[in-house]
């Protein structure tokens, strides 16, 4: 049973009319194009590729891409709002858009004029999806340990290696991927933008996941893939630093995804608490339920404030890595905690697929893991206060 919730009241956040318009547009599209299908898509692990053409028509696939490249030229607060509204209906679609826009931002900030002209209009229209490939079997949180190589051969690079957890990878037209072009450590890593149609780029397997079933996650093999030297994204040897900066922006997106999941849990819990009766009155009249909802609403407000602040700092060109880590840590923890509480409020019904809270419960956990685990976020926050001790 799907829950259609009223639009959230965001007047207290000081958003502009343009930002509110993005949130409203995204909500309308999500309710029209996703809500009627999400239960089936989730059950069948469907990646709805046609959806992203519709999001492109609505201007969401190029939300932060400048207008000269066919985008909407919106800011990062708008980006966070769009991801949040998608996640209220489908967390999988939210992360698909978040990663896509994360790579679009990387091309915009690091790419050559030719790369911008080649990719940004196609990203903005939804014609081409973008993917990210950093993690390897022995290089996750320790990204500097990656082993995939890019060897110079004249005016080309030859790429060899295997990547895991590549979001959008099975449907992407282009992938931002990290390869070792130099010696060991972070300074030997470079970033490339690679077209997935290149010979030797092989999707080896699709990863079956606990949640976000509508998001595509794959392993990609790069078997002697030849790319021109101008496929370098940014300067040679600066790829890991660039990747980490990309992930900083991505953390705002994942924090917004967690906020959307949390908002959906609150929507469903309030509705159920008003309608479900026990002992002759709505279960929301009992403190055991009411207090859970009160804490859920409080943490949602706090999470939104942290996310919108991190996005606003990025828009202002100010340091935002610490704010992004705080937003992601708090929002993801709250989403996972309150998704469990939403299931508890629904009782036995919450454990069935008749209500959406079991899906939110499964979807929430990943927000504590990808784009930097909660432990990594705590390291970032602690080091900002303590420095690097020992």
Does residue 371 share a domain with residue 245?
A: yes
Residues ≥6 apart with Cβ < 8 Å to 178 = 133, 134, 143, 146, 148, 189, 190, 191, 192, 239, 240, 243
45 inside domain: yes
Does residue 354 share a domain with residue 251?
A: yes
335-370 confidence digits (pLDDT tens)? 999 999 999 999 999 999 999 999 999 999 999 999
Region of poorest pLDDT, from 144-148, 189-193, 254-258 = 144-148
Domain count, the chain: 3
Does residue 135 share a domain with residue 125?
A: no
Does residue 302 share a domain with residue 188?
A: no
Q: Is 153 helix (H, G, I), strand (E, B) or coil?
A: strand
Does residue 381 share a domain with residue 254?
A: yes
Residues ≥6 apart with Cβ < 8 Å to 101 = 61, 63, 64, 79, 253
* pTM (two decimals): 0.94
Does residue 160 share a domain with residue 285?
A: no
Per-residue pLDDT band for 185 (boundaries 50, 70, 90) equals confident
275-325 confidence digits (pLDDT tens)? 999 999 999 999 999 999 999 999 999 999 999 999 999 999 999 999 999
147 inside domain: yes
Burial category of 263 from C-beta neighbours within 10 Å (exposed 0-12, middle 13-18, buried 19 and up): buried
Does residue 349 share a domain with residue 274?
A: yes
6 inside domain: no
pLDDT of 317 reads 94
The two three-digit tokens of residue 160, written as one number: 């060899």
pLDDT of 13 reads 83
Res. 3: pLDDT tops 50:
no
5 inside domain: no
Chain-centroid distance of CA 171 in Å reads 16
pLDDT of 27 reads 97
**Residues 233, 191: contact at Cβ < 8 Å?**
yes
pLDDT of 10 reads 66
Q: Examine the fold and report which residue of 104, 129, 154 is the final residue of a domain before the chain moves on.
A: 129
Per-residue pLDDT band for 216 (boundaries 50, 70, 90) equals very high
Does residue 224 share a domain with residue 168?
A: yes
Per-residue pLDDT band for 8 (boundaries 50, 70, 90) equals low
Res. 5: pLDDT tops 70:
no
CATH of the domain at 67: 1.10.540.10
Q: Examine the fold and report which residue of 201, 220, 238 is the final residue of a domain before the chain moves on.
A: 238
Region of poorest pLDDT, from 135-149, 304-318, 370-384 = 135-149
What is the share, in percent, of the chain residues with pLDDT greater than 90? 88
Res. 4: pLDDT tops 50:
no
Range among 86-100, 139-153, 172-186 with highest mean pLDDT value: 86-100
> Rounded to an integer, what distance in angstroms lies between the CA atom of residue 147 and that of residue 300?
40
**Residues 191, 232: contact at Cβ < 8 Å?**
yes
CATH of the domain at 180: 2.40.110.10
- Active-site residue, from 127, 287, 371, 375: 371
- CA-wise closest residue to 79 among 314, 330, 301, 298: 314
pLDDT of 210 reads 98
- Domain span at residue 17? 11-129
Q: Examine the fold and report which residue of 129, 152, 179 is the final residue of a domain before the chain moves on.
A: 129
Q: Nearest 10 degrees: CA dihedral of 162, 163, 166, 168?
A: -30
63-119 confidence digits (pLDDT tens)? 999 999 999 999 999 999 999 999 999 999 999 999 999 999 999 999 999 999 999
pLDDT of 249 reads 85
pLDDT of 243 reads 76
pLDDT of 342 reads 98
Does residue 229 share a domain with residue 252?
A: no
| Phi–psi pair at 130, nearest 5 degrees | -110, 145
**What average pLDDT does the chain have?**
94
Does residue 190 share a domain with residue 93?
A: no
Does residue 222 share a domain with residue 137?
A: yes
Average pLDDT over residues 158-172: 97
Does residue 35 share a domain with residue 153?
A: no
Q: Is 205 helix (H, G, I), strand (E, B) or coil?
A: strand
Average pLDDT over residues 42-68: 98
> Rounded to an integer, what distance in angstroms lies between the CA atom of residue 267 and that of residue 346?
12
Res. 174: pLDDT tops 90:
yes
375: annotated active-site residue? no
**Residues 87, 260: contact at Cβ < 8 Å?**
yes
Average pLDDT over residues 365-378: 96
3 inside domain: no
Q: Nearest 10 degrees: CA dihedral of 328, 329, 334, 335?
A: 50
């Amino acid at each position: 049973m799907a829950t259609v919730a009223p639009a959230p009241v965001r007047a207290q956040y000081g958003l502009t009319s343009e930002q509110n318009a993005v949130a409203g547009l995204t909500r309308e599209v999500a309710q029209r194009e996703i809500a009627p299908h999400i239960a089936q898509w989730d059950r069948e692990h469907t990646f709805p590729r046609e959806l992203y053409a519709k999001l492109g028509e609505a201007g969401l696939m190029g939300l932060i891409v400048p207008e000269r490249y066919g985008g909407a030229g919106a800011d990062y607060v708008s980006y966070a709002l769009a991801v949040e509204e998608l996640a209220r209906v489908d967390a999988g679609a939210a992360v698909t858009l978040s990663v896509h826009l994360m790579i679009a931002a990387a091309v915009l900030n690091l790419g050559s004029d030719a790369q911008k002209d080649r990719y940004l209009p196609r990203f903005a229209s939804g014609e081409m999806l973008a993917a990210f490939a950093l993690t390897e079997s022995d290089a996750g949180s320790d990204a500097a340990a990656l082993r995939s190589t890019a060897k110079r051969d004249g005016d080309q690079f030859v790429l060899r290696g295997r990547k895991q957890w590549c979001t959008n990878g099975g449907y992407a037209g282009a992938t931002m991927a990290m390869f070792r072009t130099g010696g060991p450590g972070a300074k030997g890593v470079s970033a490339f933008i690679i077209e997935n149609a290149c010979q030797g780029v092989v999707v080896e397997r699709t990863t079956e996941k606990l949640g976000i079933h509508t998001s595509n996650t794959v392993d990609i093999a790069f078997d002697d893939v030849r790319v021109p030297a101008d496929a370098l994204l940014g300067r040679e040897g600066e790829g890991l630093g660039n990747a980490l900066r990309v992930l900083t922006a991505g953390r705002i997106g994942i924090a917004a995804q967690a906020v959307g999941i949390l908002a959906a849990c609150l929507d469903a819990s309030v509705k159920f608490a008003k309608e479900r009766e026990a002992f002759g009155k709505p279960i929301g009249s009992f403190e055991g339920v009411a207090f859970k909802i009160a804490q859920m609403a409080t943490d949602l407000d706090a999470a939104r404030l942290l996310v919108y602040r991190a996005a606003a700092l990025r828009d202002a060109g100010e340091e935002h890595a610490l704010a992004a880590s705080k937003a992601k840590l708090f929002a993801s923890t709250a989403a996972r905690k309150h998704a469990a509480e939403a299931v508890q409020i629904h009782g036995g019904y919450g454990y069935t697929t008749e209500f959406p809270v079991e899906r939110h419960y499964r979807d929430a956990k990943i927000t504590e893991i990808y784009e930097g685990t909660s432990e990594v976020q705590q390291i970032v926050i602690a080091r900002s206060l303590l420095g690097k001790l020992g």
